[in-house]
Chains A and B, each alone.
Chain A
Amino acid sequence: MAAKKVNTIKLKFESARNLAPAPESKSVAKIEERYELFINGKFEKPSSKKYFDTINPANEEKLSSVADANATDVNKAVVAARNAYEKVWKKTSPKERAKYIYRIARMIQERARELAVIETLDGGKPIRESRDFDVPTAANHFFYYAGWADKLEYAFPNRSPQPLGVAGQIIPWNFPLLMAAWKIAPALATGNTIVLKPAETTSLTALKLAEIIQEADLPPGVVNIITGAGSTGAAIVNHPDINKIAFTGSTDVGKIIQKAIAGSNKKATLELGGKAANIIFDDAPLDQAVEGVINGIFFNQGHVCCAGSRLFVQESVYKVVLQKLKDRIESLIVGDPLDKNTDIGAINSKQQLEVINKYLKIGQQEGAEMFQSSCAIPKKGFYCRPTIFTNVAQSNRIAQEEIFGPVLAIQTFRTEDEVIEKANNTPFGLSAGVWTDKGSKIFNMTSKIRAGVIWANTYNKFDPTSPFGGYKESGYGREGGLHGLGAYLKL
Chain B
Amino acid sequence: MIIKIPDFTISPRIDQVGVEERASRFTKRSLKNETKINGLKLALNMIDLTTLEGKDTEGKVKQLCYKAMHLHDFYSGLPTVAAVCVYPSMVSVAKKALGDSGIKVASVATAFPSGQSARDVKLRDTKFAISQGADEIDMVISRGKFHQGEYNFVFDEIAAIKEACGDARLKVILETGELGSYDKVRKASDIAMYAGADFIKTSTGKISPAATMPVTLVMLEAIRDFYYKTGKKIAMKPAGGISKAKLALHYLVMLNEVLGEDWMNNEWFRFGASSLANDILMQLMKQRTGVYQSADYFSLD
Contacts and interface: CB of A to CB of B under 8 A. Distances in A.
B247 interface: no
Interface of B is mostly: helix
A5 B231 contact: yes
Contacts of B18: 285, 287-289, 291-292, 457-458
A13 interface: yes
B35 A283 contact: no
A106 interface: no
A21 B15 contact: no
B223 to A, nearest CB: 11
B257 interface: yes
Contacts of B14: 285, 287-288
Contacts of A286: 12
A20 B2 CA distance: 42
Given A288-B15, A437-B13, A19 B227 contact: no
A2 B231 contact: yes
Interface residues of B, number: 36
A22 B31 contact: yes
B30 interface: yes
Interface stretch (B102-110, B158-166, B258-266): B258-266
B297 interface: no
A262 interface: no
Interface in B21-78: 21-22, 28-36
B228 A323 contact: yes
A292 B21 CA distance: 11
B257 A22 contact: no
B228 A6 contact: yes
A404 to B, nearest CB: 24
Interface string A51-90: 0000000000000000000000000000000000000000
Contacts of B227: 9
Nearest to B39: A19
A287 B222 CA distance: 10
Contact of A19 (B22, B31, B229): B31
B285 interface: no
Given A2-B2, A6-B228, A9-B231, A457 B17 contact: yes
A288 B228 contact: no
Interface of B: 1-2, 12-15, 17-19, 21-22, 28-36, 221, 224-225, 227-231, 253, 256-257, 259-262, 264
Q: Which 3 A-B pairs have the closest CB atoms?
A: A288-B18, A11-B260, A22-B30
Given A13-B257, A20-B36, A22-B32, 12 more contacts: A11-B260, A12-B260, A12-B262, A16-B256, A16-B261, A19-B29, A22-B30, A287-B12, A287-B14, A288-B14, A323-B228, A437-B15
